[in-house]
Structure 1
């Protein structure tokens, strides 16, 4: 779309229509104390110079280090076909599909996305995506309050700390009581959780695997939640569902997840998208866009936006959410990604993440100054503790070419020497062996 500025003649004509002599009069309502005479902005650059400037800036990015970072965002393989297909103009430039007759391609893709999310989670219905995993969980908490008609939410301490902050922010402007139940070691404190669940609780939010990478069994807790007519909400690492029991079979009511791991790059922290799926009986409380399939007047199969309960479409006090968009392009990428892998490919992906993580964990456990904090099973992440501060260790590992993990001291007290290490299918045996050798060398030099 070209930018076509108005000519001086056109500006004069428009000002005459509204009874003004000069453009400055349009801003008479702005106090003079807030106005400035001019902006110190350099002249524009030509196209070639602009590209060179951006190339220089881009060269400052460090892109050649081996990544063992996780905690919600993961370094997975993205097949080339995902870029090729999602980059097609009809997808890449598509906007909100309000006009069904002109948006069948986009609508069908989102319908297929919803179907794949339901297959992945075992749930009945999914929306067309959320902004990210954190806001998806926050919207699920609001769903739990609406469905249960109770204003108390319990959050397990194993939920990603950044997600917890987003949930707290969302709920802070509502009359909703939020209580966080700290972990016991690396696992949920089931005894305390069970004692806290009573008839006043509207929803219980938990994450499996949890933020520290540990796996827990929540079936008994979910039974207690349902006995008290509350809603069980689970945040999950989507790739883990290739080998773990799906949330539906555990009795979960609402499932959320971060979608970056499904065919999207790390991209320095974004953009991303969130998954949100639930039971058929709760579809009227599902926020965001929902794509449905129906027949037109000629009995041809078509796809449409349906059950739109956003503020733009109905009276505000009846809206289920104020979320006014979704992440079409990134959800499209995940649809292509899942379709390319298929059921067996996705299971293999999850299995590789788990087996490689176990290999590295075993190697690290053999080192004299390394303690594996997780006492139970993990999927692809685990916590290591060393006598060296996490800040110092990560700094030294970075010098050697590794993003070695996440400094947990930034999230939890008494974790100053703890690092969350993540392993995906991308990591080779050579990279992991080098990681262990480098870590051992640094500890030997620094201690």
Structure 2
């Protein structure tokens, strides 16, 4: 195939004359001669066809989720994505979108983000949602910083022990250097937050309590019982969500008494894709709107009285005095937010409810069958959404290694984060798992028991 070069010999010579040198070699005189004569062991260039064939050969060595029985979760979930989602989002108007600083030239992008905010507000049950953050972990940290700004006279945090470990790790990083203390709240044997310990540890110094629901182990926390305890002490309740489809079935965090909801919306229209990209969300009450990080897209009217969309309440240090900024969030996940907008619009409340219902039913079927196997123990007995923890007769990592060899990904070992939980396996089931895959998993685990 012919090689394409955008520059002709004449155009190159014209450029050299313009800068006052005779040849390209003259530009390289500053490089020592010994370095100029180095020979690199590089293969000859290949044609486009050859490169595509080589890359396809390499790609075929990967095992994708459509070719395996995968029960992976732990904050990154696989849900059905209609083909129309990425057919629309892959259009150039969406694909090249960036933070729309010029509203007159970005009405489509602004409306897309506004629709995203609206969908997240409905799922969380809170009236205000921002224009997306980087991921669930950083959104959680931003929510905590927001709570500390709202509670200026308080400098203590309580964090449920069932918060995603990676969210906890990033939160620790955010809090370093701040005059803030934090304590971890233990769980009951059922897997839920211990309310008696919560009551005992709440003091007038506590600014906020961070609770994940469903929690990292899949358990559904009783937000209706948790919120009054926290509010009575004058603290704020931050609810972390890693799979918003749960709230197509459950009572929303806002209805449960949450003051701020933060977390992950990656599963709304974006496949796992090696663990990313992700999509952070944050929603809150109207009275806290001035402390929301990032930016908001709102509806207003132009000089002609027409409805238009615009960025408002931009809290980034670039927009206001640096010392007054409430956020250093530099951009938003526009493409992922667009996918989530299209996803929520296509499925609607009924479609999301069907996905959540199927996930719950299949997960409970899998849990029930696995719990019957000799050598396996169900660790928690509280209500759960689509994840649960099983204690295995041998190392969970060893089970995973054996499963992968057979095209089965049984789950995620908790020893990845908690070294003393070598035999505990976190299993996730969604509507993408078939009954035959569940049966395959059960039979595989039975062969090990």
CA offset at residue 44 of structure 1? 5.0
Superposition pairs for residues 276-355 of structure 1, below 5 Å?
276-355=282-361
CA–CA distance in 2 between the matches of 1:15 and 1:191? 80
The aligned residue for residue 102 of structure 2 is 99
The aligned residue for residue 60 of structure 1 is 61
Segments of structure 1 that go 5 or more residues without pairing to the other structure are: none
15 and 382 in structure 1: CA distance in 2 versus 1, 3 angstrom threshold? farther
Superposition pairs for residues 199-348 of structure 1, below 5 Å?
199-236=204-241, 237-348=243-354
CA offset at residue 370 of structure 1? 1.3
CA offset at residue 173 of structure 1? 3.2
8 Å CA contact 2:73–2:427 kept in 1: the answer is yes
8 Å CA contact 1:396–1:442 kept in 2: the answer is no
1:160 corresponds to 2:164: yes
CA offset at residue 52 of structure 1? 2.4
1:172 corresponds to 2:176: yes
CA offset at residue 414 of structure 1? 3.2
CA offset at residue 93 of structure 1? 1.6
| Higher mean C-alpha deviation, range 45-54 or range 284-293 | 45-54
CA–CA distance in 1 between the matches of 2:39 and 2:203? 61
Segments of structure 2 that go 5 or more residues without pairing to the other structure are: none
CA offset at residue 45 of structure 1? 4.3
CA offset at residue 41 of structure 1? 7.3
8 Å CA contact 1:141–1:203 kept in 2: the answer is yes
314 and 372 in structure 1: CA distance in 2 versus 1, 3 angstrom threshold? same
Give the TM-score, by structure 1 length: 0.91
CA offset at residue 189 of structure 1? 2.4
8 Å CA contact 1:79–1:337 kept in 2: the answer is yes
Superposition pairs for residues 17-96 of structure 1, below 5 Å?
40=40, 42=42, 45-63=46-64, 64-96=67-99
40 and 135 in structure 1: CA distance in 2 versus 1, 3 angstrom threshold? farther
8 Å CA contact 2:186–2:197 kept in 1: the answer is no
8 Å CA contact 2:223–2:257 kept in 1: the answer is no
Cα deviations across residues 24-81 of structure 1 (Å, max 9, x unaligned)? Answer: 77x9xxxx9xx97669473654423332232122122111211101111112111101
RMSD value, Cα: 2.3
CA–CA distance in 2 between the matches of 1:307 and 1:44? 51
How many residue pairs match? The answer is: 431
CA–CA distance in 1 between the matches of 2:353 and 2:311? 32
- The structure 1 residue matched to 2:125, chosen from 115, 122, 126, is 122
